[in-house]
Amino acid sequence: MSRDWIATARTLSEALPYLQRYNKAVVVVKFGGNAMGDDEAMAEFARDIVLMKQVGMNPVVVHGGGPMINEMLGKLGIKSDFVRGKRVTDKATVEVVEMVLTGLVNKRIVQAIMDEGGRAVGISGKDDDMMVCVADDPELGFVGRPVEMNVQVIRDLYNAGIIPVIAPVATGMAENETFNVNGDTAAGAIAAALKADRLLLLTDVAGVKDETGEVVTQLSPDQVRDMTARGVIAGGMIPKTETALAAVEGGVRAVVILDGRLPNACLLELFTEHGAGSIIRSTEPRVKPHHG
């Protein structure tokens, strides 16, 4: 018998405690980065999400779409500026953001999940007033900070056996306002409102790195604050760790920052002893050596 088949059977057997551990667990997955533009990577991601649902978990997908937004703005001749890593979003830009995220990107992910045998429905933060925002910063225009979350529609979907796929576009307090919300921020707010077991932030890096460039596999909120104060956590990692801290404080059991380019990244994190990336949690007992 092929060693590959034996290894596969052993892997499935070793996954049993984690399959039991995560039964009915709500896992919010932030999907973004380069994998979104690659059909093969998209199919692999969709397969992992369908498998998570099949074994009894409740995955909730929140996605970004920066590269696709940039492409569409370029085609339409709309100039886009960034302040501290966030897109300055005027009225014309927010219309394009909504069109690209809720139309093009959201439906591609939904289709990919259905192609792998799953059931998925695409919604945005505007649907059922799920995510109500105020302006995050006057300099940024229509970039929102969630202040009110109504997540019953998400629960209704996953309880019906459907995988929710959520575009980070939100409604405002005033009439007819639409806000662009940073994908990580939206995922963190949704995970906290659902009191999720896990928030997986898929990125284009291996995790949070220390001074020597090594990935730190486990971090407490105090360690994250200390590393940020010392400049070890810097640049694009700061908004991700800020999202992680806010999510943990909001009731999420743990947040994992991991490399979404890694094949089967979500499965590695959830169903193996080794895990993947950097896990941030308050000090609670662990089930397994790395990422219980």
Classified as helix, coil or strand, 286 is coil
| Strands 198-203 vs 26-31: parallel, antiparallel or unpaired | parallel
At which residue do the structure tokens 């998925």 appear? Answer: 120
CB proximity list for 8: less than 8 A, separation 6 or greater: none
State the pLDDT at residue 64. 92
pLDDT at 79: 87
Show the CA angle centred on residue 87, arms to residues 39 and 170, nearest 5°. Answer: 80
The one-letter amino acid code at 151 reads: V
Phi, psi of 39 (to 5 degrees): -60, -40
Give yes or no for a contact between 201 and 187, defined as CB atoms under 8 angstroms apart.
Answer: yes
Element (H, E) at 120: strand 120-124
DSSP string computed for 54-80: HTT-EEEEEE--HHHHHHHHHHHT---
Q: Is 134 exposed, middle or buried (0-12, 13-18, 19+ CB in 10 A)?
A: middle
Q: What is the pLDDT of residue 276?
A: 83
Q: In this predicted structure, what is the pLDDT of residue 175?
A: 81
What's the rounded Cα separation, in Å, for the pair 186 and 60? Answer: 12
What domains can you pick out in the chain, each with its CATH number?
21-280 (3.40.1160.10)
pLDDT for residue 286: 45
User: What pLDDT shows up at residue 290?
Assistant: 45
Q: How far apart are the first and last CA of the chain?
A: 33
* 239 burial level (CB within 10 Å; 0-12, 13-18, 19+): middle
The H or E element that residue 199 is part of is: strand 198-203
Rounded Cα distance, 130 and 170, in Å: 8
pTM given for the model: 0.91
So what's the pLDDT on residue 35? 66
pLDDT value, residue 104: 93
Per-residue pLDDT of the chain (292 residues; tens, 9 = 90+): 577 788 778 877 888 888 888 889 999 999 986 667 788 889 999 999 999 999 999 999 999 998 899 899 999 999 888 877 677 899 999 999 999 999 999 999 999 999 999 999 999 999 999 999 999 888 899 999 999 999 999 999 999 999 999 999 999 988 889 999 999 999 999 999 999 999 999 988 889 999 999 999 999 999 999 999 999 998 889 889 999 999 999 999 999 999 988 888 898 889 887 778 999 998 654 444 444 4
The SS3 call for residue 133 is strand
CA distance 78 to 58: 39
Measured CA distances, 248 to 50, 52, 60 (Å)? 26, 22, 17
Q: Are strands 163-167 and 120-124 parallel, antiparallel or unpaired?
A: parallel
SS3 87: strand
Could you tell me which of 147, 142, 149, 150 has the C-alpha nearest to residue 180?
A: 142
Give the span between the Cα atoms of 223 and 108, in whole angstroms: 38
